[in-house]
Structure formats: C-alpha cells, structure tokens
C-alpha cells in the first residue's frame, strides 16, 4: 500500500477503525502476547508510527478492544430482548445464551475482557462505563422480573451476580473444551449452552 493511500485513510478518520478491526482478528489468531502496534501497522499498510496517533501504547489498544467486547455484549443482550419483549423469563434465558455465544465467537477477546488488566486501571473510564452498561442490562432484566412477579424476591444484586456467574462459568467451560468433554452424550454443546441457563432460570422463577 503506498504512502498516499495511507495518508488518505488517516485523513478520513478510518485508520483507527482499520487498526481495531485488524487487532481483533490478530488477537484471536495469535493471542494477547503476540499482538503489537508494529504488527498492526504492517497488516494495515501504514508506517510504524501511525498507530501511535490513536493508541499511546499496547495497553490503550487492549482497553479499546475490551470496550468493543462489552459493547458487543450489550448489543447482544438488547437483541435478545427484542425477540421476546413481553416475556421477561425468556428474555433472561436468551440474554444468557447470547452471552455464551459472544464468548464462543471471540474466546481470546472474552478472556481479555475479564482478565482485569484494563478495567482496574483508573484511566480507562470508558472501558469501565461499557462494562457497567452490560451489567446494568442484566440487572434491569432481573429487576423487571421481580416487579412483574415472575422472579423470586431475593436481593436483586445477588440474583444478578448469580445469573452472571452461571452463564460466565458455562461460557468459560465451553471455551476451554471441558463442557464438551463432560456433556451428556445425547446433548450437543449448543443444547447444553441453553439447558444450563434454563436450569438457573427455574431457580429464579416463583
């Protein structure tokens, strides 16, 4: 790619998006340790210094990727709600399945999202906000279910954390391969990804 084309991309504000897209691909292909701004500059076809116009270092790049991951999760939960807007129990189940699907599609990104490397750093306020928005969506589903008399009247935060912990555990087991190894022979992994959250749901229903 010639220098003129590279400058044109940057001028139109597309370079950051291209770098993030390439970073997401490289992350899944080669892992967190092998992701670097220098590699991304080669993939996108720009100078080695060009990525630093958007990311001060690798940690800032990783923070942007984590933010994208939580934004995807929020969007998936919203989409689950549109499927059954009047059935809060089904909404919770679909949101749990969507969570597992997000994790299975981008397992390395999922690992990065919950590795704590970026969310714990005070400077990455947008990452924290994105993570909180995803959590709040689950919290509101639980709260709505209680208001409608569908769910039990336990503390909403405790119920939200229980639901989150279960689907996160299923997602982690799925990505590691342990779920496939230990699932009943007649249950395909996709069926287990729905069955296990549905078992939690039954525990929340009145």
Residues 98 and 148 in one domain: yes
Structural domain harbouring 42:
1-55
Residues 25 and 42 in one domain: yes
Q: What is the mean pLDDT of residues 44-70?
A: 92
Residues 138 and 82 in one domain: yes
Residues 47 and 70 in one domain: no
Residues 174 and 94 in one domain: yes
Residues 26 and 86 in one domain: no
Number of domains in the chain: 2
**pLDDT tens figures, 77-111:** 999 999 888 899 999 989 998 999 999 999 999 99
pTM to 2 decimal places: 0.84
Buried b (16+ CB within 10 A) or exposed e, 151-179: beeeebeebbeebbebbbebbbbbbeeeb
**How far is Cα 129 from Cα 64, in angstroms, rounded to an integer?**
12
Structural domain ending residue among the three candidates 55, 73, 92: 55
pLDDT mean across residues, the chain: 85
Indicate the range of 49-53, 103-107, 116-120 predicted with least confidence. 116-120
**pLDDT tens figures, 165-196:** 988 988 898 888 877 666 655 555 556 566 66
CATH of the domain at 8: 1.10.10
Q: What is the pLDDT of residue 192?
A: 59
Structural domain ending residue among the three candidates 13, 36, 55: 55
Q: What is the pLDDT of residue 24?
A: 97
Q: What is the pLDDT of residue 115?
A: 85
Q: How confident is the model at residue 204 (pLDDT cuts 50, 70, 90)?
A: confident
Q: What is the pLDDT of residue 29?
A: 95
Q: Contact, 107 vs 114, CB < 8 A?
A: no
Residues 5 and 95 in one domain: no
Q: Contact, 94 vs 84, CB < 8 A?
A: yes
Q: What is the pLDDT of residue 79?
A: 95
Residues 21 and 71 in one domain: no
Structural domain ending residue among the three candidates 40, 55, 70: 55
Residues 2 and 97 in one domain: no
Residues 107 and 151 in one domain: yes
């Amino acid at each position: 790619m010639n220098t003129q084309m590279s400058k044109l991309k940057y001028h139109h504000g597309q370079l950051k998006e291209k770098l993030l897209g390439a970073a997401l691909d490289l992350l899944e292909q080669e892992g967190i340790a092998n992701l670097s701004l220098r590699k991304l500059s080669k993939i996108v076809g720009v100078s080695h210094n060009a990525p630093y116009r958007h990311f001060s270092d690798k940690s800032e790049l990783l923070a942007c990727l984590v933010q994208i991951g939580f934004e995807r999760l929020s969007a998936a939960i919203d989409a689950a709600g549109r499927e059954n807007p009047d059935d809060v129990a089904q909404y919770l189940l679909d949101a749990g399945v969507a969570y597992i699907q997000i994790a299975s599609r981008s397992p390395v990104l999922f690992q990065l999202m919950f590795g704590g490397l970026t969310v714990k750093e005070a400077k990455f306020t947008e990452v924290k906000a994105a993570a909180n928005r995803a959590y709040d969506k689950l919290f509101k589903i639980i709260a709505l279910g209680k208001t409608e008399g569908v769910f039990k009247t336990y503390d909403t935060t405790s119920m939200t954390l229980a639901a989150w912990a279960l689907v996160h555990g299923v997602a982690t087991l799925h990505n590691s391969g342990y779920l496939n190894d230990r699932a009943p022979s007649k249950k395909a992994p996709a069926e287990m990804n729905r069955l296990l959250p549905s078992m939690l749901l039954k525990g929340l229903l009145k």
